[in-house]
Structure 1
Amino acid sequence: MTHRPVPSEYNSYYEGYVSSAGDDPIAQLEQQIVAFEKARGLDESAASTPPAPGEWTLKEVLVHLCDFERMFSYRALRFSRGDATPVEAFEQDTYVATSGANRRPLSEIVDELVSLRRATILLARSLSEEMLDRAGSAGGHPVTVRALIFITPGHSEGHLADLRRDHRELR
């Protein structure tokens, strides 16, 4: 990618994610796989226990990252292919609450997330500058494919920081 997205390429809600993305979002996407893999060794009980009342468990965070990865890759694929049909927002809290994450084996969740991430990386690598410049509407706001590729690792960074804080094994 030749440049970072400018603020007009995405909803201001995502500014923190874009700011948290490095200058090479594909390299950052790859590096985050290492962090995801570290979660594999955590105790199932600890991974299913929220760090504080009302907070998501580690398993719920990882399933949320799976959902986010799917949603934002789907948007990038559609818009990159010239399909500018508006895409609705998704309600992350409802997705997490109904995911059944805490009943799943942690290793299965990590496998899913790593597989999704590898697919995202392959998609991102396949995009030409022309495709990166294409845009669509998501959640009622315009967004370019380039911005979506930057938002994805930036979003993961915030969750990884929280997980590292709550689970020293992930540091």
Structure 2
Amino acid sequence: MTPRKLNANESSDYFKRYINLVETQNIVAALKYQLTDIKQFFKAWPKNKWDYAYAEGKWTIKELFIHMMDAERILAYRALRIARNDATALPGFDQDEFAPFMNATNRSPESVMSEYRVVRMASIALFENLDDEALSRIGTASNAPASPLALAFIIAGHEIHHMKVIKDKYV
């Protein structure tokens, strides 16, 4: 995989708010860095704050983390389908419909962190083994154009976005 800038036609404008948060063109390196960075950040996070929400109706840290994993799995699945030249238009998903079924209150911080690592390692393995042609294919996801490379950037940028929210609202 050759690091490169995304072309304008590889993603909708909506997702550029996440893509633009990623400061490198080497997306695999960014995903690997986040794996280490998140592990260190949450290792230091107090156990009694994993069930903390900064306001009524907002997600707890566990719920936020599970949301990030749900989104990553869906985005990686979309990337796989498009990379394998599947022309099927892929539907969107409503994060708020997923939330009631997270089972976050019954999860330990350790189980959430363990699952995060597995999800991220799977994403890294996927993206580091796609060639430039596969990464550049354009498919349709959520009624918009998407390339596997753009989806990888969205995964990384989505996490950057939520880490900023945590640092701004939860700390």
Does the pair score TM above 0.5? yes
Corresponding residue number in structure 2 for 1:117: 120
Q: CA deviation at 1:41?
A: 4.6
Question: What runs of 5+ residues in structure 2 fail to find an aligned partner?
Answer: none
Secondary structure, counterpart of 2:146 in structure 1? strand
Give the match for residue 31 of structure 2. Answer: 29
Aligned residues: CA RMSD: 1.5
Match for 1:27: what amino acid? A
Map of 2:109 onto structure 1: 106
Give a deviation string over 1:121-144, Cα, whole Å, max 9, x none: 111110111101112111111111
Q: What is the rounded CA distance, in whole Å, between the counterparts of 1:91 and 1:102 in structure 2?
A: 21
- Structure 2 counterpart of 1:17, which letter? Y
Q: Deviations over 1:63-103 (max 9, x none)?
A: 00110111011011111011121111010111123211122
Indicate the percent of aligned positions where both proteins have the same amino acid: 29
**1:7 is matched with which residue?**
8
**CA–CA separation in structure 2 for the residues paired with 1:2 and 1:121:** 14
What are the Cα deviations for residues 31-70 of structure 1, in whole angstroms up to 9, with x where unaligned? 1112321314534431112111221110011000110111
Contact 2:53 2:170 in 1 (8 A): no
Task: Decide which of 137, 140, 143 is 1:137's aligned counterpart.
Answer: 140
Bigger helix fraction: 1
Paired residue type of 2:11? Y
Specify the alignment match of 2:59 in structure 1.
Answer: 56
Q: State the TM-score, normalizing by the size of structure 1.
A: 0.91
SS across alignment from 2:97: helix
Q: Report if aligned partners of 1:135, 1:144 keep a CA contact under 8 Å in 2.
A: yes
**1:47 alignment counterpart:** 50
2:158 maps to which residue? 155
Q: Write the letter of the residue equivalent to 1:144.
A: S
Work out the CA distance in 1 between the residues paired with 2:3 and 2:54. Answer: 40
Contact 2:54 2:170 in 1 (8 A): no
